[in-house]
Structure 1
Amino acid sequence: MKKRKEIALLVCIIVVLIGGVLMAGCISPPEEGSKELPQEIVIGIGEDIKGLEPVFGTPWGAPLRPIYETLVMEDADLKIQPLLAESWEVSEDGKVWTFHLRNGIKFHDGAPFNASVVKFSFEYKPEAYRALYAMLNSIDTPDDYTVKFVLNKSYAPLLRDVSSAPIMSPTAVDKSGEFKSPVGTGPFKFDEWVKGQKIVLVKNENYWRGSPKLEAVTFKIIPDASARAMALETEEIDLTGHRAGRGVLYVSDIPRLREEPEIKIVEGYTQPCVSWIQLNTEKEPFSDLKVRKAVYYAIDTQKMVTSVVGETAAPLLKGPLSMPCTEHLLNQNLTWYPYNQEKAKELLAEAGWKDTDGDGIRDRNGEQLKVTFVLSAFSPELPKITEIVQAQLKDVGMDVKLQIVEYGAQQMLFEKGEYDMMMQMGVCGHGDTSLWLNYFFHSKRGVRCAFKDEQLTTLIDRLYTTVNSKDRLNVFYEIQEIMEEDAPGVFLYTDANVVAVNKRVKNYEMQGGIHGAYLSLWKVYIEE
């Protein structure tokens, strides 16, 4: 009997053990690293916002753009694509632009998106759209989902202007018309702003293209570019780079980031930004065309760009429109000024500048060929660029003194005309180069221009009013002919937008223009 009980007990134990093994086989052990990651992203930027208004509060295209959307947008190839407007057309005379809006979109507070709010957004602070409003007769809303911009003359860059014009709800202002809170249609809603530290956005679950996967986006303000790069490497932030929010990385940090196994580099020529040397053509020595051409010939642009900014930039060997993103506008019949120091020396001699005392610096009528080169310490690369220019011009007998100032001081010197040479960066908020040409070369702009030429000013005006693409291309060709012949400056390079991203960040894409840095955040998610 006792033996039978022992056998029964043993059987029970065996059954329990087998059952446990079977149960264990049915339950998969948790995989290592399978814990769910927080769907949050931290983006490093270099400058705080000025306020919460969509137009004046967010310089450099960040970081409130995920709150507000525009009627159209620029893609990575700088082509216009629909956004809040699903389609549009322009009248034959170029004076009426009609936008057909998407139906069913709501603002963050539930207010409907329609034609009346588009009209409200453009009329709220019209001074933000100076060029457009100079040509605007009225904004008409024939029905709830149609908006017409009626102009007094044709205006070719209208779509570009509209691509950077955020639409906000009328509920964003109080009864007196003063702005009170950010309310847009975008994938993220405003949550918190700690001045000088961070801006926090949270997802808009009712976003019209689908609820974002990210729960929150934090823009962390880190003014120093190298500190931002280090913060990415230590995983303090998840993404940084791009001109938006002054988030540009230093060129010296990019090769190291490329080698990091956990970091991905996203880059593209998504803005037509020109880095160039402006010559003061209104006073000697650069009032002399031969001296200006000599400077152009004396500078080895290809070697300089390769050695200083490397693969993050493209040299402009055939003028300002030889950028990768504007090659379709390039006048191929022009040769510009290939590096040739002997030619530079010949031109200087023809202009009367000769080294009469053998000290290596040319002189004329007892005066040495000395000039001052003004630049701001915007990035570590600029002093390196100017030092190379300084050395190459010395090789042909020109003494160049470098003067490094703050950016604001540089602008004052520009407006007063108190410079000989000046390092200038691009004005490139959107993909139409008329913006840059108008800023620097339109003689009636109201602020000092870099080179006064009435024919050039007339052609820039035509760029704004010529809607037909073939006719407009011919205007671009004529502008390049004048700029090549008159050499108002030396066009050096265009740099790419470079964004460094932790590889856990999926689906990030860069779109065009200053506002294209964060347009893809609505579909970004975090995954190991």
Structure 2
Amino acid sequence: MKLSKVLGSVGVVSAAALALVACGKSGQNNNSNAKEAKKFPTATPKKATKQGGTVTVALETDTPFTGIFSDELSTSAYDSSVAAPGEESLFDTDDQYKINDKGAATMKLDRKAKTVTITVKKGVKWSDGKQVNAKDLEYPYEILANKKTQAQRYDSTLEDIEGMKEYHEGKAKTISGIEMPDGENGRTIVIHFKQMKPSMYFSGNGCFWESAAPYHYLKDVPFNKLQSCDQIRKKPLYFGPFKLDKLVRGQSVTWVPNKYYWRGKPKLNKVVIQVVSPNSASQAIKSHKFDIASVINSQWQQVKNTKNVNWVAQVPLAYSYLGFKVGKFDAKAGKNVMNKDSKVANKSLRQAIAYAMNVDAVNKRYTQGLSFHIKTLIPEGFGAYHDSSVKGYDYNLKKANQLLDKAGYKKKGKWRVQPNGKPLVLHFATMSGSPNAEAIAQNYLQQWHKIGLNVKLTGGRLMEFNSFYDKVQNDSKDIDFFQAGWQLASEPSQGSMYGETSPMNYERFATPENNKLLEEMNSQKSFDTKYRVKVFHEWQQYMNDQAFVVPLSNSYSINAVNSKLTGYSTKPSQNNNGHQLWYQVGYAK
């Protein structure tokens, strides 16, 4: 299951890691920068590769990574990036993200029997030498569904598996719909579904999990201790090309080859991933401190003439967004419950806040034109599913004021009051993490003040990544709306992020209409692609109108790669679980 570059599932990225990676001078030649980015290749030149060598990778963040080495329990894109050399998904895909038979496991769909059969290949071994088996394929579902693990990635999509809901609610000790025909030590599981979905042919579908978990290694750890145990925090097992050798908590990881890797020996001797402050990123690229580093878009002018690097770029399936807190997650009921008395329950207020944002001006000034305003929650990368007719919220103060006037938010002195005459103070949460994050936040506060809304920063300041998500996930009372970012799954279904039972639906909005459209995306009728596209377009129009979540920006993602390296690619068929296939990367002869 994938969603967001915690791409075994939903991963959360800071807006700083997305559109608002800003610093340096205001961008000149913005259009030419964007045109330059389009010219970049998606892979390094192909060359013969030699054995050996160390590659250093920059992880640009101003906060330590959490270090949860488990696809089931991690939700941060930073953790996913740090785990990439070891973590490998069960399936490979083509460039349209359709699952093929080239990966560690094969997948067979039987629409009539309503089953998906997953078989792991012989010789796919954990880094301790043990063959990945059927129990390792089944165990992730227990981790996800057992309430004691508090896994954020469990949602109603998984409840289409027979017996999943009963297990989740503690009414059953096993998941009846997952069968191991050759026993726990076999290599096959058969998953029985209540209904089959068109998304199932593609990676990132959310219907079944795309990772394995080493049962023999984790079985003695109680579910409530899993997230903090040494087996996940310090010495994880993976079946990917590399195994964890050294960990400096929150700061760096060193990976060495997994001698049991099923595809053969990786080319490199070592991969080192190290945290670097976004403020130092451009200097690190210019001084060749790292072999692979992401370019912070606002620093493009400073780094673009660097010698001995290949620029490898893509427009990721990602966006930054504004989310409005309109309810709470009821853990007991396992669903999001809306609150009609939420300060941002009024649609006109939400729309006005969106119209007051000068997103284009921010992108132009702070990201050298390499970030761009988007209007809908389904990015262009999803082809026909993207609805280009969605109007979005272009900067329009006049419209914002009209909406507020009409909805009864009258001005009393400097600030507007609620329609019931009571004062209105709104708290906005946003993250630190980029050199210009503060300037951008202050800019938006100023914009909202212009339309008479008394908006303040939650806690009076920008928030560090981990504490920001802690507050957002726990529905902190001092957040009325917030700015964050998603990196998306490679299959466009939206239930995992915006479904009624999804803990990752951070806005907590759940309407019958939204439920109906999300369900319809994967109905039997949606096996007809034309019909499915129509449903996706309807959902985008509905979400645009409701403005519970307002998409802001996406960005070109440019990597500086040492020109001596080969085998580095951003193409889906050359990636796995949204990450570089590290066994291919090496130094050219």
TM-score, length of structure 2 as denominator length: 0.68
- Does structure 1 residue 339 correspond to structure 2 residue 384? no
Cα distance 1:453–1:71, how it changes in 2: closer, same or farther (>3 A)? same
Q: Is 1:199 aligned to 2:253, yes or no? A: yes
Does 2:439 match 1:384?
A: yes
**Structure 2 match to 1:320:** 377
Instruction: Name the CA shift for 1:505/1:153 in 2 (closer, same or farther; >3 Å).
Output: same
Judged with a 3 Å threshold, the aligned counterparts in structure 2 of structure 1 residues 367 and 516 are, in CA distance, closer, same or farther, namely same
Q: Contact 1:316–1:494 (CA<8 Å) still a contact in 2?
A: yes
SS at match of 1:287: coil
User: Which position in structure 1 is the counterpart of 2:330?
Assistant: none
| Alignment correspondent of 2:212 | 167
Alpha-carbon separation, structure 2, partners of 1:173 and 1:284: 42
Q: 1:200 to 1:57 in 2, by over 3 A?
A: farther
The number of residues matched between the two structures is: 480
C-alpha separation in 2, matches of 1:48 and 1:334 = 36
Give secondary structure in 1 for the equivalent of 2:553: strand
How many angstroms apart in 2 are the aligned matches of 1:49 and 1:522? 25
Structure 2 residue corresponding to 1:418, chosen from 448, 466, 477: 477
Q: 1:365 to 1:63 in 2, by over 3 A?
A: closer
State whether structure 2 residue 103 is matched by structure 1 residue 84. yes
Residue 154 of structure 2 corresponds to residue 130 of structure 1: yes
**Partner-residue secondary structure (3-state), 1:376:** coil
Matched, 1:430 2:489: yes
Matches within 5 A, 1:244-263: 250-263=296-309
User: Shift in Å at residue 421 of structure 1?
Assistant: 4.8
Match of 1:265 in 2: 311
SS of the residue corresponding to residue 84 of structure 1 reads coil
**Distance in 1 of aligned mates of 2:502 and 2:248:** 41
Structure 2, unmatched stretches of 5+, are 1-49, 163-176, 327-338
- Cα pair distance change 1:419/1:440, threshold 3 Å: farther
Give SS of 1:481's match: helix
**1:504/1:355 CA distance change after superposition, 3 Å:** same
How much has 1:38 moved relative to structure 2? 5.7
Closer/same/farther in 2, CA of residues 59 and 480 from structure 1, 3 Å limit: closer
- Give distance in 2, aligned partners of 1:430 and 1:518: 12
Secondary structure in structure 2 of the residue aligned to 1:426:
strand
Q: Which amino acid aligns with 1:377?
A: S
Shift in alpha-carbon separation, 1:282–1:191, aligned structure 2, 3 A = same
- Aligned: 1:487 with 2:532: no
CA contact (8 A) 1:135 1:155 kept: no
| Alpha-carbon shift at residue 454 of structure 1 (Å) | 2.5
Which of 287, 310, 313 is matched with 1:234 structurally?
287
Amino acid across the alignment from 2:212? I
- Deviation string 1:109-161 (CA, Å, 9 cap, x unpaired) is 44444555434565566545623653333333446554322123445665424
Q: What amino acid maps onto 1:459 in structure 2?
A: L
In 2, Cα distance between equivalents of 1:57 and 1:345:
42
CA distance in structure 1 between the aligned counterparts of 2:252 and 2:504, rounded to whole angstroms:
37
- Structure 1 CA distance, aligned partners of 2:504 and 2:213? 30
**Cα–Cα, structure 1 residues 329 and 383, in superposed 2: closer, same or farther, change >3 Å?**
farther
Give the unaligned 5+ runs of structure 1: 1-35, 242-248
Asked if the contact 1:37–1:527 (Cα under 8 Å) also holds between the matched residues in 2, the reply is no
Aligned to 1:520: 581
Partner Cα distance (2:269, 2:239) in 1: 16
Tell me the residue number matched to 1:500.
Answer: 560
Give 1:218's aligned residue: 272
Q: 1:192 to 1:450 in 2, by over 3 A?
A: same
Q: 1:69 aligns with which of 88, 94, 97?
A: 88
Amino acid aligned to 2:118: F
Q: Cα distance, 1:42 vs. partner?
A: 1.5
**Displacement of 1:409:** 5.1
Judging changes above 3 Å, is the alpha-carbon distance between structure 1 residues 515 and 210 closer, same or farther for their aligned structure 2 residues?
Answer: closer
CA shift for structure 1 position 282: 4.4
Deviation at 1:96, TM superposition (A): 1.2
Once the two structures are TM-superposed, the CA of residue 214 in structure 1 deviates from its matched residue by 0.9
Sort the Cα spacing of 1:391 and 1:378 in 2 relative to 1 into closer, same or farther, 3 A.
same
Distance in 1 (alpha carbons) for counterparts of 2:347 and 2:545: 9
Residue 93 of structure 1 and its aligned partner are, at CA, apart by 5.5
Matched to 1:453, the amino acid is T
Is 1:478 the counterpart of 2:538? The answer is: yes
Q: CA RMSD in A?
A: 4.1
Change in 2 beyond 3 A, CA 1:225/1:156: farther
Contact (CA 8 Å) 1:50, 1:56: kept in 2 or not?
no
In the alignment, the residues of structure 2 paired with residue 401 and residue 388 of structure 1 have an alpha-carbon distance, to the nearest angstrom, of 12
Shift of 1:523: 1.2
How much does 1:255 deviate? 3.5
Greater CA radius of gyration, 1 or 2?
1
Call closer, same or farther: CA 1:491–1:227 in 2, change over 3 Å: same
User: Whole-Å Cα distance in 2 between the matches of residues 217 and 444 of structure 1?
Assistant: 35
Deviation at 1:301, TM superposition (A): 3.0
- Give the letter aligned to residue 402 of structure 1: L
Give the equivalent residue in structure 1 for 2:7: none
CA shift digits 1:445-475 (9 cap, x unpaired): 5986443422213333444656624444333
2:54 is the alignment partner of 1:40: yes
Q: Which has the higher helix share?
A: 1
The aligned amino acid for 2:272 is: T
Residues 278, 327 of structure 1: alpha-carbon distance in 2 compared, 3 angstrom cutoff? farther
Which string of whole-angstrom CA distances, capped at 9 and with x for unpartnered residues, describes residues 51-72 of structure 1?
A: 5556447953133333242221
Secondary structure class of the residue paired with 2:580: coil
Rounded to whole Å, the distance in 1 between the matches of 2:412 and 2:72 is: 58
Contact 1:312 1:498 (8 Å CA) reproduced: no
| Contact in 2 for aligned 1:263/1:501 (Cα 8 Å) | yes
Q: CA deviation at 1:41?
A: 0.8
TM-score, normalised with respect to structure 1: 0.75
Task: Confirm whether residue 510 of structure 1 aligns to residue 570 of structure 2.
Answer: yes
Partner of 1:139: 178
User: How far off its partner does 1:522 sit?
Assistant: 1.0
- Report the Cα offset of residue 194 of structure 1: 3.9
SS of the residue 1:63 aligns to: helix
Change (3 A) 1:366 1:149: closer
Give yes or no for contact 1:50–1:59 (8 Å, CA) kept in 2.
no
